[in-house]
């Protein structure tokens, strides 16, 4: 015979199971409705496009990515501009810009030292930015009245940079060791840049479902080369850095320069505790320091180029 406690446990489990089933059913219904609505909308666009007018020449064009099943259907992270020199020739230019600057507290006030003095809040600042530009040229061919297939040549160029800066609290003079009232906040920074250059040969098509408004796709072959700049390590206080990381408690050791620049890419993330500060002797009896693992200098790829999202745009004079 089941006890009252077991009955309640079984009842609670069944409630959770039923709620989970209902939630999954609703999600399935929602996704099915989204797909159905998109299919109906696409059918309507095809029907509307029978009499649509495509480019004639001398128009301008703005275009964004269209992802109907994504969280954000319109993606404006990359904007493309076209200038139709004639009805079958166009200059194109894509521009993408991204920038992120995040601040995190990794030590709260008083977390290191509760009193006399209260240790300050220490932060980690992460930054990333990139700028891309891709000039190109399109040659359009005869299609249906509202379909404009084309071949394009494109030269994408992207420049990017990442940096992490982590704050520490400690002495800035060898005589201040063990005296928290003399401590300062100082920081350690890692920074890395990259440059990407490519060349793409693309095939695409624009389907005008209304006058001057179209949906399109694009795919092709491309060459790409990414080069990584030198990895740079910086600090706001050299003595505090050497005392914290290198146990330097002599004037000479505390003033030693940071081995602050290394060729190639060193992956880093201050939020995950990966930020470079220590390098090992080269093993040959020299005092010079080096990083003991391979550094990624560049990457070259040749392969397919495919834009997963549809393209949506409009023409204007």
* In a domain? residue 257: yes
- Answer yes or no: are the C-beta atoms of 254 and 174 closer than 8 Å: yes
CB atoms within 10 A of CB 187: 19
Give the least confident one: 46-55, 115-124, 171-180, 238-247. Answer: 46-55
Q: How far apart are CA 282 and CA 301, in angstroms?
A: 33
* In a domain? residue 27: no
* In a domain? residue 217: yes
Query: DSSP secondary-structure letter at 120?
Result: P
pLDDT in tens, 183-232: 999 999 999 999 999 999 999 999 999 889 999 999 999 999 999 999 89
pLDDT in tens, 134-153: 999 999 998 778 899 999 99
For the CA atoms of the chain, what is the radius of gyration?
29
pLDDT in tens, 70-108: 777 888 889 999 999 999 999 999 999 999 999 999 999
Handedness of CA 82, 83, 84, 88 (dihedral sign): negative
* In a domain? residue 30: no
Residue 107 sits at the vertex; the CA angle it makes with 105 and 112, to the nearest 5 degrees, is 165
Q: What is the pLDDT of residue 15?
A: 56
Q: How many domains does one find in the chain?
A: 1
* In a domain? residue 17: no
Q: What is the pLDDT of residue 284?
A: 47
Q: How far apart are CA 122 and CA 114, in angstroms?
A: 14
Q: What is the pLDDT of residue 51?
A: 62
Query: DSSP secondary-structure letter at 173?
Result: S
* In a domain? residue 99: yes
* In a domain? residue 106: yes
* In a domain? residue 89: yes
pTM given for the model: 0.77
Handedness of CA 283, 289, 291, 295 (dihedral sign): negative
Parent domain of 100:
52-316
């Amino acid at each position: 015979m089941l006890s009252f406690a077991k009955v309640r446990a079984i009842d609670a489990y069944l409630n959770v199971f039923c709620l989970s089933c209902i939630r999954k059913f609703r999600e399935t219904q929602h996704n099915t409705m989204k797909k159905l609505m998109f299919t109906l909308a696409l059918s309507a666009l095809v029907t509307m496009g029978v009499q649509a007018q495509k480019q004639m020449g001398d128009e301008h064009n703005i275009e964004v990515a269209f992802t109907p099943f994504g969280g954000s259907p319109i993606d404006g992270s990359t904007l493309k501009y076209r200038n139709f020199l004639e009805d079958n020739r166009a200059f194109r230019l894509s521009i993408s810009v991204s920038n992120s600057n995040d601040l995190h507290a990794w030590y709260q006030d008083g977390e290191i030292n509760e009193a006399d003095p209260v240790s300050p809040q220490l932060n980690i600042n992460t930054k990333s930015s990139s700028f891309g530009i891709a000039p190109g040229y399109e040659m359009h061919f005869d299609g249906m009245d509202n379909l404009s297939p084309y071949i394009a040549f494109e030269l994408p160029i992207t420049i990017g940079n990442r940096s992490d800066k982590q704050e520490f609290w400690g002495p800035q003079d060898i005589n201040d060791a063990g005296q928290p009232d003399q401590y300062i906040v100082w920081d350690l920074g890692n920074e890395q840049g990259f440059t990407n250059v490519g060349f793409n040969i693309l095939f695409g098509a624009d389907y005008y479902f209304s006058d001057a408004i179209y949906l399109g796709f694009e795919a092709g072959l491309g060459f790409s080369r990414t080069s990584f700049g030198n990895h740079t390590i910086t600090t706001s206080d050299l003595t505090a850095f050497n005392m914290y990381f290198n146990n330097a408690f002599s004037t000479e050791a505390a003033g030693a320069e940071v081995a602050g620049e290394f060729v190639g890419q060193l992956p880093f993330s201050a939020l995950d505790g990966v930020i470079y500060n220590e390098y090992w002797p080269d093993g040959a009896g020299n005092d010079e320091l080096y990083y003991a693992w391979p550094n990624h200098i560049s990457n070259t790829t040749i392969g397919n180029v495919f834009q997963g999202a549809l393209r949506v745009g409009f023409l204007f004079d």
